[in-house]
């Protein structure tokens, strides 16, 4: 690791995994060779001002739009507040708490400009969820939307190390009389960015949708830029004329990339929605004539099923991530729109998508290939690469890598220089990767390995099924069986006859031994804010008896 750092607070650097626990990083593209000194916020924002693009629209909302110049000036004022009023030292962590809105975007960029480390948190987290994040990252300062202040203050009582709270108004409505707006008012619109190192930590993202203690994943300034190059330039091939939109929160790294950083990288505009359910998202795609959308597979299906759905014909690059994309959803979307969904596999540990394909390279049923800049293989039980067609653990390496914050689980994620993601896949001879499930979602029943996502994809092909999730369930006679939780479409009713119909349908679609021996109808499936189905909750509420 290079010696230069701008961080006076060396907490993050001191808590990086030791070199022998890091995966190999590879920089196979010339565009991934970044200078030693690199501030990603300056690269993503200030560059446009220097090159005369300040009047272009950067951020759009239902209430306003901000030009690049406006965003630049707001971020610079906030950076001054951080340095002058809160005495932020480069390397200090700052917690951000808000729904997707322009003020959150400005705060994110300001923290990085000032040399700080962003720790963004999901708006729906409660005080008890925030406490381990605050403690683990040793955070003393939080910027929070005033609408979320109550929960934030409760978190401060649980994590007394956080002793400074600055509120802002993210709603774009009412008087801007909160503390941050008042402090910003008298600050200059120019800020001398901290000359951070390319391998100084820019953000700590905590994993979502898991059951135990949260894991903090650390990402360098150069990791942020690598994401923009590999996903923005190489995969999506985005340009300044694109209009981005989506549902994932900026606190989720999928949302951070697709909703803020990649649009800024290419000089495009992005639509920030605080409420982005499928109906809201579809309306906004039509209203803003969005060209790039990022959301979960369930949202694309919901848009398809909505009667009288808005016109989404402007959407040329629909991107799906955060959850496995079942083949029936892909086929239905393509049949309706003529456009193939760009399926993406990524992890918080790797920052963003590293397996995908777009346009003519899409092969239905496969997630895709390693994104340009990354390499993938499938590891067997001996931790050696498997031949084409064999199922095993997906391993990846590239310009980004897992760097857990002081966490022994680093030893589980990195194997022989590869990042091992926990996904069970196989790779064909052309390098296309086929998802079979998470390592903890693989169902072993009567000696057979059964992929939960494969059963889900089969069920989704039936007209009665709106959504479904498949898990392993304990059974007195068989030990473990396949169980499906099913949300029905309108005009279909829960019945024993429908259970038999769905079971017979799955037997016709895939190998009969894979069919769900138990089906439970439910009004909804538990999900994280990012759209991931929380299968662990379904396992815990099993009620076998049908």
**What are the structure tokens assigned to 300, written together?**
């694309």
Chain centroid to Cα 243, Å, comes to 19
User: What integer pLDDT is reported at residue 476 of this predicted model?
Assistant: 59
Mean pLDDT score, 299-307: 83
The number of C-alpha atoms within 13 Å of 479 and in the hemisphere containing its C-beta is 6
Q: What is the average pLDDT score of the chain?
A: 92
Q: How far is CA 229 from the centre of its chain?
A: 17
Least confident of 20-24, 223-227, 240-244, 421-425: 421-425
- Mean pLDDT along residues 64-79: 98
More confident residue, 6 or 297: 6
* pLDDT in the model for residue 209: 39
pLDDT in tens, 49-67: 999 999 999 999 999 999 9
Q: What is the pLDDT of residues 439-482, one digit of tens each?
A: 766 676 765 668 788 899 899 999 999 999 999 887 755 668 89
What's the token pair of residue 49? Answer: 């001002």
Q: How far is CA 514 from the centre of its chain?
A: 30
Both tokens assigned to 292: 């790039």
The per-residue pLDDT for 193 is: 98
Q: How far apart are CA 340 and CA 365, in angstroms?
A: 12
Which of these ranges, 72-76, 97-101, 259-263, 301-305, has the smallest mean pLDDT? Answer: 301-305
CATH number of 39-195: 3.40.50.980
Query: To the nearest 10°, the Cα dihedral for 19, 23, 24, 26?
Result: -120
Superfamily of domain 443-540, CATH level 4: ANL, C-terminal domain (3.30.300.30)
In this prediction, residue 135 carries a pLDDT of 96
Confidence bin at 182 (pLDDT 50/70/90): very high
Cβ neighbours of residue 199 closer than 8 Å, sequence gap 6 or more: 1, 2, 5, 220, 221, 222
pLDDT confidence of residue 218: 98
Query: How high is the pLDDT of residue 477?
Result: 58
For the chain, how are helix, strand and coil distributed in percent, rounded to 5? 35, 25, 45
Task: Kindly report the number of other CB atoms within 10 A of residue 162's CB atom.
Answer: 25
> What is the CA 361 to chain-centroid distance, rounded?
23
Q: Please report the pLDDT score of residue 543 as a whole number.
A: 42
User: How far lies 346's CA from each of 231, 320, 366, in Å?
Assistant: 11, 11, 14
Top CATH class, 22-30+219-439: alpha beta
205 alpha carbon, distance to own chain's centre: 10
Percent of the chain with pLDDT over 90: 77
- In angstroms, the CA 59 to CA 335 distance is 32
pLDDT confidence of residue 544: 40
Q: pLDDT digits over 522-541, tens only? A: 999 998 777 788 888 888 77
Taking 70 as the threshold, does the pLDDT of residue 298 lie above it? yes
Please give the average per-residue pLDDT across 427-443, as a whole number. 85
- pLDDT over 70 for what percent of the chain? 95
- Length of the chain equals 546
Radius of gyration of the chain from Cα atoms?
23
Q: Does the structure show a pLDDT above 50 at 546?
A: no
pLDDT for 437 equals 76
Q: What is the pLDDT of residues 108-164, one digit of tens each?
A: 999 999 999 999 998 888 888 899 999 999 999 999 999 999 999 999 999 999 999
Read out DSSP for 233-289? IIIS---TT-EEEESS-TTSHHHHIIIIIHHHHHT-EEE--S---HHHHHHHHHHHT
**DSSP state for residue 440 in the 8-state scheme:** T
Q: What is the pLDDT of residue 515?
A: 94
Beta-bridge partners for 518: 483
Q: Give me the pLDDT at residue 212, please.
A: 52
Pairing of strands 342-346, 414-415: unpaired
pLDDT of 211 strictly over 50: no
Inter-CA distances, 229 with 32, 173, 201, 401, 431, Å: 7, 36, 18, 15, 21
User: CATH topology of 22-30+219-439 equal to that of 39-195?
Assistant: yes
**Residue 147 and residue 143: Cα distance in Å, rounded?**
12
Contact 370, 376 (CB under 8 A): yes
* pLDDT for res 328: 87
Task: Residue 344: name the closest of 329, 364, 327, 322 by CA.
Answer: 322
* Contact in structure between 309 and 282 (CB atoms under 8 Å): yes
| Residue written as token pair 């962003």 | 118
Q: Is 508 helix (H, G, I), strand (E, B) or coil?
A: helix
Task: Name the β-bridge partners of 218.
Answer: 204
- What pLDDT is stored for residue 309 in this prediction? 73
Give the domain ranges of the chain.
22-30+219-439, 39-195, 443-540
Mean pLDDT of the region 15-29:
96
Determine the pLDDT at residue 240: 98
Q: Note the pLDDT of residue 412.
A: 93
Task: Answer yes or no: is pLDDT of 362 > 90.
Answer: yes
């Amino acid at each position: 690791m290079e010696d230069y750092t701008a961080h006076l607070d060396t907490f993050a650097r001191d808590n990086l995994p030791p070199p022998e626990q890091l995966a190999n990083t590879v920089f196979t593209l010339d565009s991934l060779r970044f200078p030693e000194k690199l501030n990603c916020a300056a690269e993503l924002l200030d560059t446009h001002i220097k090159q005369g693009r300040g009047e272009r629209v950067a951020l759009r909302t239902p209430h306003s739009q901000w030009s690049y110049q406006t965003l630049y000036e707001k971020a610079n004022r906030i950076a001054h507040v951080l340095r002058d009023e809160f005495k932020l030292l480069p390397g200090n962590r700052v917690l951000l708490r808000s729904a997707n809105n322009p003020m959150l975007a400005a705060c994110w960029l300001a923290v990085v400009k000032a040399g700080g480390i962003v720790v963004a948190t999901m708006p729906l987290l409660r005080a008890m969820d925030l406490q381990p994040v605050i403690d683990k990252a040793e955070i003393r300062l939080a910027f929070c939307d005033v609408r979320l202040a109550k929960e934030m203050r409760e978190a401060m009582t649980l994590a007394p190390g956080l002793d400074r709270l600055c509120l802002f108004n993210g709603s774009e409505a009412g008087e801007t009389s909160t503390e941050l707006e008042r402090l910003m008012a008298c600050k200059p619109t120019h800020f001398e960015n901290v000359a951070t190192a390319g391998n100084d930590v820019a953000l700590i993202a905590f994993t979502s949708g898991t059951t135990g203690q949260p894991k903090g994943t650390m990402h360098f300034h150069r990791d942020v830029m690598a994401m923009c190059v590999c996903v923005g330039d190489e995969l999506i091939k985005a340009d300044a004329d694109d209009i981005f939109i989506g549902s994932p929160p900026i606190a989720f790294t999928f949302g951070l990339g697709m909703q803020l950083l990649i649009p800024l990288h290419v000089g495009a505009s992005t639509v920030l929605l605080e409420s982005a359910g499928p109906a809201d998202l579809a309306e906004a795609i039509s209203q803003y004539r969005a060209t790039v959308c990022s959301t979960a597979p369930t949202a694309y299906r919901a848009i398809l099923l909505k009667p009288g759905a808005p016109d989404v014909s402007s959407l040329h690059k629909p991107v799906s991530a955060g959850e496995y994309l079942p083949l029936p959803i892909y086929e239905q979307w393509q049949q309706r729109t003529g456009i193939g969904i760009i399926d993406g596999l990524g992890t918080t540990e790797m920052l963003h998508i590293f397996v995908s394909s777009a346009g003519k390279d899409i092969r239905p049923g496969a997630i895709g290939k390693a994104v340009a800049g990354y390499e993938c293989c499938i590891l067997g039980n001996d931790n050696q690469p498997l031949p084409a067609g064999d199922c095993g653990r997906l391993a990846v390496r590239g310009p980004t890598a897992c760097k857990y914050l002081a966490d022994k689980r680093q030893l589980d994620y990195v194997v022989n220089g590869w990042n091992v993601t926990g996904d069970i896949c196989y790779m064909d001879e052309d390098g296309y990767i086929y998802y079979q499930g998470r390592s903890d979602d693989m169902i072993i029943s009567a000696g057979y390995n059964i992929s939960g996502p494969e059963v889900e994809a089969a069920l989704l092909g039936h007209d009665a099924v709106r959504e479904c999730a498949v898990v392993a369930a304990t059974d007195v006679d068989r030990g473990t069986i396949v169980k499906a939780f099913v949300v029905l479409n309108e005009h279909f009713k829960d019945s024993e006859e429908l259970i038999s119909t769905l079971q017979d349908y799955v037997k016709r679609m895939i190998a009969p031994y894979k069919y769900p021996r138990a089906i439970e109808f439910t009004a909804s499936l538990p999900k994280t804010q990012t759209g991931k189905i929380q299968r662990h909750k379904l396992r815990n509420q099993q009620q076998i008896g049908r």
